[in-house]
A and B are shown apart, each in its own frame.
Chain A
Amino acid sequence: MDETAWRRSLGNPRVLFGLAVLALLALAALGAPLIAPQNPLHQDLLASFAPPFWHAGVVPGHLLGTDDLGRDTLSRLIYGARIALTVAVISATAAGLIGTLLGLAAGYAGGLPDAIVSRLVDVWMAFPPVLLSIVLVAVIGAGLEAVILAIVIVDWTRFCRIVRAEVLVQREQDYVAAAVAIGLGPWRVALQEILRNLLPTLIVLFTLEMGIAITVEAILSFVGLSIASGAPSWGGMIAEGRLYIHQAWWLMTLPVGCIIVSVLGLNALGDGLRQTLDPLVRR
């Protein structure tokens, strides 16, 4: 893609904010063992309900306090980022690949393939997405893999629908006829000529999907369907913290804040890139 488009993107405040959040998430996720002050699973019942630093009586080594079992909140939040980002990247990649390929095939081939894919998407979209993923995980069985699988199964349609619509527009463009006229076959035209023009759209969709995946994972852990309880996922921390909302409101609020900031950042990144990448690439 055009370098000037990237340079322009880096001048956009939303993109910058989004990238900063993403960088922070990546740093926490990749460097968790180095950054986290404590083992996130280590319980210390003598130090339970330690308050965060802005309260009196803070326990050294527990900057953001501890939970009911005396586990260090900051460490759990950092490890939580690891789970959130893993889910986000894997499920957005898989949903993106499946949705893009099906949307591309449907939009470019038309006819029967298009009819089949479009009906499939219609049926899929008739289910409320969160409910569908809860049911799916309930059927597949709880756990991180099940959560990722459920998100992919539900969300490939987001990519598929938009890619198909974009391909329908692109394939009418003169450059596509010109590509066929130099003897390029249908797959070459679809994957090389058309797909490259969808790159900005795909980047935006991918970013937004990461935010959605983080939210869905949190919801599923909240209802106890994600990773085994005790593992430091943000959704799980919310579920546990909810019980102590009156004694220690931060136990629930801190992970909620992490989710909100992550999703806001990813959405800002997606929206910012939508503005900066699209017009230039499309002339």
Chain B
Amino acid sequence: MSALLEIRDLHLEIGTGRAALPVLRGIDLVLEAGEVLGLVGESGAGKTMVGKALLGILPPAARITQGQILYQGRDIAAMPAKPRLALLGRDLAMIPQDPMSSLNPVIRIAGQITDVLRRHLGLSRRAAYERARALLESVHIREPERVLRQYPHELSGGMRQRVLIAIAFACRPKLIVADEPTTALDVTVQRQILRLIRDLQANSATALLFVTHDLGLVAKICTKVSVMHAGRILEAAPVAQVFTRPQHPYTSALFAATPRYDRPAEALTPVPEALTARLWAEAAAYDAARAAAGVAVGGRAADA
């Protein structure tokens, strides 16, 4: 029986030819049904690209050059558009990083929620509207009817993120990618949104790929962690193990740099530059070795 999601040796570049910039350097991830995997790393590590590759929403310049993204044993990166789009929104969904820009500014909330319901569940307009109302209630929006009539710009960031969460969970997907879902929000709202995602996830047994730069959040909702830097996974383990016995020095450094309730802010130490420099040098050496072996050139298009 194959895992729900298995990413194998994923390589991704941005740009082509001489300008090609390696972004992912052989990512491996396994996610079983109902699990919550934290993908952690500093900004620029390539976390967002992993999520976008998985959902097939890579920017036009990005190409998968090697590796597989197996969803229930089928490689979605190599799948024709039609069956792949049939999975998106129904089996695989996303909670985006920026709720301010991720809703269509000229479409009422009702339309944006019913779109996904009608697309995948074949509901009538009426039935989809009723379902949308129930979904808004499930994300604790108090006046769902009013919100359904509103445009995104009439809602706060937290409200918009609730709407996006409702859209993500609308078709009871098997896997949701949440890319820093609280980063763009006010601190007070962050906690509510995080709790909401955790509760909905637990109730629906949806697997969650939780992308974040914050180990503190990982402790709150994840069962497993993969620590990422420069497009590589440095360490992957159950949360308890990573927190008590980190194997990679970078993981320990990330801990030392993460604010915690039992530690004053002054006690934080940033990740040592010597360490990141060494990791980047490793990445560069890896690229050079691949280029010398002639593997970096060619490959297949990300979105054929």
In the complex, whether B34 has a CB less than 8 A from a CB of chain A is: no
> Residue B89 contacts which of A2, A181, A280 (CB distance < 8 angstroms)?
A181
| Least distance between A197 CB and chain B CB atoms (Å) | 5
A residues near B, CB below 8 A?
1-2, 110, 172-175, 177-186, 193, 196-197, 199, 280-283
> Residue A181 contacts which of B93, B104, B151 (CB distance < 8 angstroms)?
B93
B119 pairs with A184, CB closer than 8 A: yes
> Residue A282 contacts which of B81, B87, B98, B105 (CB distance < 8 angstroms)?
B105
> Residue A183 contacts which of B89, B103, B104, B107 (CB distance < 8 angstroms)?
B89
B residues near A, CB below 8 A?
52, 55-57, 59-60, 81, 85-90, 92-94, 96, 98, 100-107, 115-116, 119-120, 151, 153, 164, 167
| Least distance between B109 CB and chain A CB atoms (Å) | 13
Q: A181-B57, A182-B115 are in contact. List 13 more A-B contacts (CB 8 A).
A: A1-B106, A174-B98, A175-B102, A175-B104, A177-B52, A178-B94, A183-B120, A185-B81, A193-B107, A196-B104, A281-B105, A282-B105, A283-B105
> Of all chain B residues, which has the CB nearest A280?
B153
| Least distance between B125 CB and chain A CB atoms (Å) | 15
B57 pairs with A177, CB closer than 8 A: yes
* Interchain CA distance A1-B105 in the complex, whole Å: 10
| Least distance between B43 CB and chain A CB atoms (Å) | 17
| Least distance between A247 CB and chain B CB atoms (Å) | 57
| Least distance between A200 CB and chain B CB atoms (Å) | 9
> What is the interface of chain A mostly: helix, strand, loop, or mixed?
helix
| Least distance between A117 CB and chain B CB atoms (Å) | 17
* Interchain CA distance A172-B55 in the complex, whole Å: 16
Interface centre among B52, B92, B100, B106 (most CB of A within 10 A): B106
B90 pairs with A175, CB closer than 8 A: no
For residue A199, which residues in chain B have a CB less than 8 angstroms away from its CB?
106
If A174-B98, A178-B96 touch, whether A184 touches B105 (CB-CB below 8 Å) is no
If A2-B151, A178-B164, A182-B93 touch, whether A197 touches B105 (CB-CB below 8 Å) is yes
B103 pairs with A178, CB closer than 8 A: yes
> Residue A182 contacts which of B60, B89, B100, B105 (CB distance < 8 angstroms)?
B89
> Of all chain B residues, which has the CB nearest A1?
B106
> Of all chain A residues, which has the CB nearest B91?
A183
For residue A180, which residues in chain B have a CB less than 8 angstroms away from its CB?
55-57, 85, 88
> Of all chain A residues, which has the CB nearest B59?
A172
For residue A173, which residues in chain B have a CB less than 8 angstroms away from its CB?
101
For residue B116, which residues in chain A have a CB less than 8 angstroms away from its CB?
182-183
* Interchain CA distance A193-B116 in the complex, whole Å: 13
- 27 pairs of residues in contact across A and B, judged by CB atoms under 8 Å: A1-B106, A174-B96, A174-B102, A177-B96, A178-B102, A178-B103, A178-B104, A180-B85, A181-B55, A181-B89, A181-B93, A181-B94, A182-B88, A182-B119, A183-B89, A183-B90, A183-B120, A184-B115, A184-B119, A193-B104, A193-B107, A196-B107, A197-B105, A280-B153, A281-B105, A281-B106, A283-B105
